[in-house]
């Protein structure tokens, strides 16, 4: 099995994991030495480590996005052709950090959206929990193009492409 597929499988195996008992307490945060902090980036780093994938540190999502941009492994939503295993970087908050969340692309749905697996997001959009600090590992459909068939708001600001061994 390719490293790209192993990375996605490592993330998929964590679906449904919930933080706790304390806020933002996870094995992912403990792994990155960032326990009790928002853990979407720690989740991605933990999954990468499970399969021997070397990626820029994305515990700080803003810094992680900058590292991908600095190595030429970045694509903007307008021109992106996201592949499974790419990292999707999000901006949910108005103001503040330009990148405040990260997830793993499972597939490009071909309609301006991608299916992702994300740590520390909300499992139920009807609950008043946060998309960027919701406390669970969840599979989501996210828009990256404004003109997408599902009419979702595009929060993805870009994609980072890891260098897989395959």
Q: What percent of the chain has pLDDT over 90?
A: 80
Q: How many structural domains are present in the chain?
A: 1
Q: Return the bridge partners of 97, or none.
A: none
pLDDT given at position 21 = 94
- Asked whether residue 166 is assigned to any structural domain, the reply reads no
Q: What is the mean pLDDT of the chain?
A: 92
Q: What is the pLDDT of residue 117?
A: 98
**So what's the pLDDT on residue 63?**
95
Q: Is pLDDT of 113 > 70?
A: yes
Residue 119 has pLDDT above 70, yes or no: yes
Residue 42 within any structural domain of the chain: yes
Domain membership of residue 165 (yes or no) is: no
State the pLDDT at residue 124: 66
Q: What is the CATH number of the domain that holds 68?
A: 3.90.1720
Decide: residue 28, CB within 10 A, 0-12 exposed, 13-18 middle, 19+ buried.
buried
Distance CA 88, CA 90 (A): 7
Whole-angstrom distance, CA of residue 24 vs CA of residue 65: 22
Confirm whether 30 is domain-assigned: yes
Q: Is residue 99 part of a domain?
A: yes
Question: Per residue in 12-32, pLDDT tens?
Answer: 999 999 999 999 999 999 999
Residue 92 located in a structural domain: yes
Confidence check: pLDDT of 128 > 50: no
49-108 pLDDT per residue, tens: 999 999 999 999 999 999 999 999 999 998 999 999 999 999 987 666 789 999 999 999
Instruction: Show the domain range for 81.
Output: 3-160
Residue 26 lies in a domain: yes
- Over residues 142-157, the mean pLDDT reads 92
Q: Is residue 56 part of a domain?
A: yes
**Where do the H-state alpha helices sit in the chain?**
3-12, 27-32, 40-50, 61-70
């Amino acid at each position: 099995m390719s490293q790209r597929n192993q990375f996605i499988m490592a993330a998929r195996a964590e679906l449904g994991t919930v933080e706790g008992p304390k806020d933002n307490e996870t094995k992912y945060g403990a792994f990155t030495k960032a326990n009790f902090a928002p853990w979407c980036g720690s989740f991605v780093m933990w999954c990468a480590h499970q399969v021997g994938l070397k990626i820029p540190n994305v515990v700080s999502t803003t810094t992680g996005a900058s590292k991908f941009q600095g190595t030429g492994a970045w694509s903007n939503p307008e021109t992106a052709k996201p592949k499974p295993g790419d990292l999707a970087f999000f901006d949910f908050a108005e103001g503040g950090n330009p990148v405040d969340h990260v997830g793993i692309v499972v597939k490009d749905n071909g309609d301006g959206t991608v299916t992702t697996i994300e740590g520390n997001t909300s499992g139920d959009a009807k609950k008043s929990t946060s998309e960027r600090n919701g406390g669970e590992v969840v599979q989501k459909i996210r828009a990256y193009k404004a003109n997408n068939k599902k009419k979702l708001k595009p929060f993805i600001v870009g994609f980072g492409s890891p260098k897989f061994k395959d």
